[in-house]
Every structure is written in C-alpha cells, then in structure tokens.
C-alpha cells in the first residue's frame, strides 16, 4: 500500500495482503485483506494509529520512512490482536521515546502477549484526549468489539473516527476510499457475520453513543475508508437490530443422498409458500457465506445424517459455529436420516444453548425418504410459515 493522504497531515501507511486466503485458521478470505495503519501529524507531536500484521512489518517500516517521519511520539493501540499489534515490539525499538496509548485491558494484554514494558504504556480512560498540536485524539473505550480491550480513536479537528475492526471488511483493494458499494457491502456483511455478530448487543449500544459524535470519515483497520459514514453505520444498525427476515437457512451434509433429498423437498415446499430459502451443502460451501446468511434468517434448519451414533461431523461443526456466532435467528430445527439408531437430533439441539430460539419439531427418518416423509416435510414448511407469521415476520 502506498503512502496516501486522507486529510491534511493524516496519512494511510498500512499494508495490503493481496494473497492471504485464511484468517485465524478458520475464516476464508476470498478478497484478501489489508492491515490499515495511520499517521497523524500535529504541530508538536506525531501519532501512529494501529500497526500491521508481523508478516507485513517491512511494508509498514518502508511507508513510515517514505512519509518522512523523524520520530513518533505516540503509538495508539486500539486492539491488541496480532494483525494490529504484532509488530509493536519492533516499533518500540525503532522509536525509543514513543508512548503507547491503549485501554487498561489492552495494557494488560500488551504486557502478557507481547512482553511490552509497562512503563511504555499509558492506559487511557473513556473520553480522555491527547493533543498533538492542532490535532486532538479522543478515546472511546468499547469492550467486546470484538475483544475486551478494544477502543475507538476520534480525531476531533477532522471529525475522523479510527474504528479499528468495527465497520471494517477483509478486502484487499487499491482504492483508498470505498468505491464499489455493492462489493463492499457484501464484504462488510461477511466480516460482521464472522467476527462482530456475537457482540451485536454491545455494538448496538456503541452505535447509540456514536450518534452524538460528528463523524465525517471512518477509517477502519481492514478494507477501504468510508467518506460516507452513513452507508456503513446504517448497515450496522440493520444487522444488529432484532429484526429478522422471512428467510430459512439450511446448512446440510448428505452422505448417500437421503438428507440431500429431504433438503430439496423442504426447499421447494418453502419456496412455494413464499419463503426465501438458502440451502448450503456444508462440504462444498464457504463457511463465510453460511455465516453471512445467518445474519438475517428467521429460521435455521440443520440437515444432519447420523454417522455411527451421532450427527455427521460437518453438521456438528456448523452447529457449533452457529452457536458461537449467536445470530438473531428465532427458530431452529433438524432434518436428516439414520441407518439403525443414534441421537443426532438431541446432539444438534443441545449444541445451540447460546441461541434464544424456539425449536420446531424435527423430521428425522430411518433410511431413504418416502411419500410419508414428503408429507412430514410439508407439515414442517407449514409450521415454519405459521411461526413466521405469528412473529410478524413477513418481509
């Protein structure tokens, strides 16, 4: 990433990771990502806001040199995860007089995770300000977005919010600012689903707080910068709201075709009743696409055949992931088949303890689906529609 000016004396100095395709050994990155870092130059002092993943350490160092910096007085650590703070020890060696500004929890993590000396860290408080000379940084402490250490940094004179992971997207791009809104929206929604969705209640509270702040630009730590903050703020308000859509997501796995046929019958039955359906063969699907579909869906139906005495491991994985992500889904159920026995339905249902959902009676059969199975699935479709209507879910 080249050094580029966002507003006068505020520079983007981070790195683009065009080829990264997996994050946290779990999350696919079809569009790569970026690790955004920013320089804020005041008349008296200079601050670096966030850093980059250690794999892109040299890109950051090169950009700092290109920016003509002779010194850095403050290093703002909004969040201590490796992709933002992994190269902090090197920066402290390069700039021995620099002080880290971070939340109290981030201070603890910097000491324990990166062995940063405590005397190099100043723990800021909610609303605290630091003047750089004509540039004033104000800090909002925002735990659980998405770690307990996170804070946001607001540049008062330029009305610019450095939002760290909040409002970002895993997206490698040569555009400094958001250009293609449709592409960005999908990337941002995917990012929200995979990382932010478990904390939507906390985020909803922070969105209310930010209504009182005049924000002209949002500069996240991943993806392009927002010159139109309303676009991403409105999207987040929609995603964190309790409202769900008349949609059913069906993640499934089928070993010999029986569960797959049942998914097909249920998909057709729901479409005929005016419900939007999103079936995903777990073996073939991108887990990020499944997570994104969970953001709005009123109902999730897990398609899980029995392997030996329990649910297929792929179905277990998706169920476990959904339980971690805590979507605002209202209803869940299970469909599938077994050979001689097992407790797949109880296993799947018992894994969803983090979700506040009603369980729709499952359709679980022995062997291949029959005409009687189709009738049971038709009844399940009717029940889903009934529950949606009773809950006022029509759109």
| Residue 394's pLDDT band (cuts 50, 70, 90) | confident
> CB of 31 within 8 A of CB of 171?
yes
Quick: pLDDT tens for 122-179.
Answer: 999 999 999 999 999 999 999 999 999 999 999 999 999 999 999 999 999 999 999 9
Angle at 57 between CA 52 and CA 59, to 5 degrees: 95
d(CA 165, CA 84): 9
Q: pTM of the full predicted structure?
A: 0.95
> CB of 47 within 8 A of CB of 39?
yes
> CB of 330 within 8 A of CB of 358?
yes
| Residue 1's pLDDT band (cuts 50, 70, 90) | confident
Quick: pLDDT tens for 49-64.
Answer: 999 999 999 999 999 9
Return the CATH fold of 248-387: Rossmann fold (3.40.50)
Number of H helices, E strands in the chain: 12, 24
3-state secondary structure of 11: strand
The two beta strands, 276-281 and 245-252, are parallel
Distance (Å) of CA 58 to CA 61, 80, 91, 143: 5, 19, 11, 30
| Residue 309's pLDDT band (cuts 50, 70, 90) | confident
Structure tokens at 214: 């005049």
Say if domain 4-240 classifies as CATH 3.40.640.10.
no
**Domain coordinates in residue numbering, the chain:** 4-240, 248-387
């Amino acid at each position: 990433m080249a050094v580029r000016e966002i507003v006068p004396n505020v520079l983007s100095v981070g790195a683009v990771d065009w080829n990264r395709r997996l994050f946290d050994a779990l999350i696919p990155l079809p569009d790569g990502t970026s690790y955004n870092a920013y320089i804020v130059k005041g008349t008296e002092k200079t601050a670096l806001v966030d850093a980059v993943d250690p794999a892109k350490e040299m890109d950051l160092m090169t950009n700092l040199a290109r920016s003509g910096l002779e010194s850095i007085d403050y290093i703002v650590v909004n969040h201590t995860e490796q992709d933002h703070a992994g190269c902090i020890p090197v920066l402290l060696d390069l700039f021995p007089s620099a002080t880290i500004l971070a939340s109290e929890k981030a201070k603890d993590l910097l000491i324990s995770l990166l062995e940063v000396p405590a005397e190099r860290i100043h723990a800021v408080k909610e609303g605290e300000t630091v003047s750089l000379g004509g540039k004033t940084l104000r800090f909002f402490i925002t735990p659980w977005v998405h770690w307990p250490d996170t804070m946001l940094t607001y540049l008062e004179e330029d009305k610019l919010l450095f939002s760290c992971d909040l409002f970002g997207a895993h997206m490698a791009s040569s555009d400094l600012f958001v250009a293609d809104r449709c592409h960005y929206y999908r990337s941002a929604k995917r990012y929200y689903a995979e990382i932010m969705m478990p904390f939507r209640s906390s985020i909803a509270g922070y969105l209310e707080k930010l209504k009182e702040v005049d924000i002209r630009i949002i500069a996240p730590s991943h993806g392009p910068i927002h010159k139109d903050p309303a676009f991403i703020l409105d999207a987040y308000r929609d995603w964190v709201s309790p409202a769900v859509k008349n949609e059913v997501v069906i993640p499934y796995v089928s070993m010999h075709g029986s569960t797959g046929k049942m998914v097909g019958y249920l998909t057709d039955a729901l479409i005929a009743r005016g419900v939007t359906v999103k079936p995903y063969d777990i073996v073939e699907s991108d887990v990020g696409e499944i997570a994104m579909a969970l953001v709005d869906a009123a109902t999730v139906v897990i398609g899980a055949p029995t392997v030996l005495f329990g649910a297929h491991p792929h179905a277990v994985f998706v169920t476990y992931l959904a339980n971690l992500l805590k979507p605002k889904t209202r209803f869940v159920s299970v469909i599938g088949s077994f050979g001689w026995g097992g407790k797949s339905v109880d296993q799947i249902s018992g894994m969803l303890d983090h979700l506040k959902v009603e369980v729709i009676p499952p359709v679980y059969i022995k062997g291949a689906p029959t005409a009687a199975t189709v009738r049971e699935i038709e009844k399940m479709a009717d029940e889903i529609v009934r529950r949606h209507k009773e809950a006022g879910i029509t759109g």
